Amino acid sequence: MSSEAVGTSLLIGRFQPFHHGHLQVVSKIAGESSQLIIGIGSAQYSHTLENPFTAGERHVMISESLKEAGIHNHYLVPVVDINRYSTWVSHVESMVPPFDRVYSNNPLTKRLFHEAGYEVTGAPMFNRAEYSGTKVRERMMRDDSWRELVPEAVVRMVERIDGIGRMRELAGLE
């Protein structure tokens, strides 16, 4: 943590799956914050091509990746979606520890927290050409060079649950 670290920050995402871009932005924000809350969004979804992994599987992927990266000043909280955008920030507040500021690049997330009075900071993007959930899932579906895009702990979890087989079967490829 840097000597300028202040307050508690929130980063919310689906992390389907957690990749090296996520790890780099988490590392940066954790270094700028006393504590970082990571909301595992759309927690109710799994077993779809867009959201293949459960909240529990994502929890282990992230917590093990951060432990191995030496990042310890964080809380991980699953957050299910609600179908009413105007009350979503209150819903998040009811699920996570108190926080001072929000990091996001998601336009809807930014707008909702901004309207609720929070300081919202755009998170820096790292190698977005390769480190994107969509691209990682596309490569996983083909079982082609996806391991280099995610932390080792994510590889272990995907292999443990036969995540590639799950995705290929859901896509009708097996």
Closer to ligand NAD by Cβ: residue 111 or 169: 111
What sign does the CA torsion over 40, 44, 47, 49 have?
negative
Closer to ligand NAD by Cβ: residue 46 or 132: 132
Whether 9 contacts 99, CB under 8 Å: yes
Q: Most distant CA pair in the chain: distance in Å?
A: 52
Count residues contacting ligand NAD (CB under 6 A)?
27
Instruction: Report the nearest approach of ligand NAD to the CB of residue 106 (Å).
Output: 3
Q: Which of the stretches 65-73, 94-102, 120-128, 139-147 binds ligand NAD when contact is defined by CB under 6 A?
A: 120-128
Instruction: Report the nearest approach of ligand NAD to the CB of residue 132 (Å).
Output: 6
Encoded tokens for 8: 């508690």
**Contact with ligand NAD (CB under 6 A): which of 9, 35, 37, 41?**
41
Encoded one letter per residue, x for contact with ligand NAD by CB under 6 A and - for no contact, window 133-162 reads x-----------------------------
Whether 92 contacts 105, CB under 8 Å: no
**Contact with ligand NAD (CB under 6 A): which of 7, 56, 119, 128?**
128
DSSP state of 131: -
Closer to ligand NAD by Cβ: residue 14 or 35: 14
Q: How far apart are CA 132 and CA 50, in angstroms?
A: 12
Q: Nearest 10 degrees: CA dihedral of 157, 162, 164, 168?
A: -150
The alpha-helical segments, DSSP class H, found in 14-162 are 20-32, 55-68, 88-95, 107-115, 133-142, 152-160
> Would you count residue 81 as binding ligand NAD (CB under 6 A)?
yes
Q: Give me the residues that bind ligand NAD (CB under 6 A), please.
A: 12-15, 21-22, 25, 41-42, 81-82, 85, 88, 104-106, 108-109, 112, 123, 125-128, 131-133
